[in-house]
Amino acid sequence: MIRIRGMEVYPLKFGPIFKERIWGGQALRTVFGKDLPEGAKIGESWELADLPDDKSEIVNGPLAGITIDKAVEKLGAAITGREDYKPPFPLLIKILDAQDILSVQVHPDPETCRRRGKGQPKTECWYIIDAAPGAVIYKGLKKGVTKEQFAQSIKDGNCDELLEKVQVKKGECHFLPAGTAHAIGPGLLIAEIQTPSDTTYRVFDWNRVDDSGKGRRLHIEDALQSIHFDSSGDDLSVKTVGRLVGSEVFKVDKGHQTAGCEVLFSPGQMKALMVITGRGCITSQATENVDFKKGDTLLIPAAFEGVMQFTSDTDYLTITV
């Protein structure tokens, strides 16, 4: 254990940042017990964020009440494990409740952002926490689709027909690198892990309108300039066990432990934990116990040393950068 300015580092828990979406619902309350605004269509719970207008606030221990960026500024490499760390925090972690279908959209890659002088790159993955029977995602283009064909399909209102439509099930992880056109179908509860960006270019929103009769803004030219037309959806991975994602921007591993088991944390690398099912606590000789349960996201500082103890069978994701 490393002491920094009179404080021992410890596992950090955060208050969720709720986002109301036209396609959201109340599943985050019923499944995870999150304190949602009554009756609101909450589509996203930002579990760990460090964007200009949305910064996660720590809710436990001596650092309670300060945001993730201030904690890193205060404790530096004890959290990140890197002396050369530069903000923002390198992950954005969410839980999505898709009660209705999401728009067809794409996120740019670094080269596109540099070339066009705007936006932030975004690579992501979707871990399927739960899926209604027959639930689908749209994941990349069908092989051979050209920019011209896709542009025409947007005008015709049927661009979804040129995307790979994939039936999904609980426990799958789907990787979507920047430049992949995609959409999430209804009936899905998803853990979304991504690079820290909220740049989204919509190309089609299923002709939906809000209560005032207005449709959401589309970004067709931005999307067409961002999509990778030289790759297709059938090139993208889907995994269910072990190392789920091994990209250069983040890595995701799935763990499962039965009640009574323990996992040791040794100093060395910062990691985030998303608890999908189950519960337990994290203990150390120097700090108070930190309880966890399904729906929690915790940040384990690089300098932390302790034990993760499970009081019930638990599935969880470990995210590293």
Cα–Cα distance measured from residue 252 to residue 10, given in angstroms and rounded to the nearest whole number = 21
pLDDT at site 234: 83
Cα–Cα distance measured from residue 29 to residue 40, given in angstroms and rounded to the nearest whole number = 11
Neighbours of 196 (CB within 10 A): 18
Is 233 a residue whose pLDDT tops 80?
yes
CATH pick for 251-320 out of 2.60.120.10, 3.30.420.590, 3.90.1150.10, 2.60.40.10: 2.60.120.10
**Active-site hit among 202, 208, 216, 243:** 202
What is the arithmetic mean of pLDDT over 211-215? 84
Is the domain 3-239 a CATH 1.20.1530.20 member?
Answer: no
Task: Enumerate residues 6+ apart whose C-beta is below 8 A from 307.
Answer: 262, 263, 264, 265, 282, 283, 284
Sequence spans of domains, the chain: 3-239, 251-320
- The answer to whether the beta carbons of residues 15 and 45 sit under 8 Å apart is no
Model confidence over 159-204: pLDDT tens digits? 999 999 999 999 999 999 999 999 999 999 999 999 999 999 999 9
Task: Enumerate residues 6+ apart whose C-beta is below 8 A from 15.
Answer: 56, 57, 59
Q: Is 82 a catalytic residue?
A: no
